[in-house]
Amino acid sequence: MSTRRILLVPEAPPKPATGEPCNGCGVCCAAEPCPLGVWISRRRHGACAALVWAADEGRYRCGAIAEPGRHLPWLPSAWTARLARRWVAAGVGCDADYEVLDGRRAGDAANGDPAR
């Protein structure tokens, strides 16, 4: 199993269990873009360019849903947001089967902090 570091804001909610409702943790979109994110980001690896932190909500949002005019400006915003919700299966449940290690507990090698 490979290990990869993704960076998220500390205020982000913890990743829900697979199948549980999405809580905006951002893990899935920070790890790799979904098919819509590949199209928007123009890349298949790394964080999705449409992933946005909604500080007022305390969670991550899909920019294609939250700000469709910014990420898909050539398409009608209301139509795009509805279609994006369907494409990313918003509200269906977490399908990210990643094991998440909290950097504050696992140690941060970049800062020289030992694992606890």
Residue 35 belongs to a domain: yes
The type of residue at 80 is: T
Q: Percent of the chain beyond pLDDT 90?
A: 45
Question: What's the chain's Rg over C-alpha atoms?
Answer: 15
- CA angle at residue 16 from 14 to 20, to 5 degrees? 155
Domains of the chain: total: 1
- Alpha-carbon 106 to chain mean position: 21
Parent domain of 34: 27-95
- Whether 2 maps to a domain, the answer reads no
The size of the chain, in residues, is 116
pLDDT digits (tens, 9 = 90+) for 60-102: 999 999 999 998 888 888 888 888 888 888 778 898 888 888 7
Count of beta carbons in the 10 Å neighbourhood of residue 107? 14
Does residue 101 lie in a domain region? Answer: no
Residue 42 lies in a domain: yes
Q: Do 36 and 28 touch, CB atoms closer than 8 A?
A: no
Q: Please check whether residue 5 lies inside any domain of the structure.
A: no
46 lies in some domain: yes
**Is residue 77 in some structural domain?**
yes
pTM of the model: 0.79
Residue 10: inside a domain: no
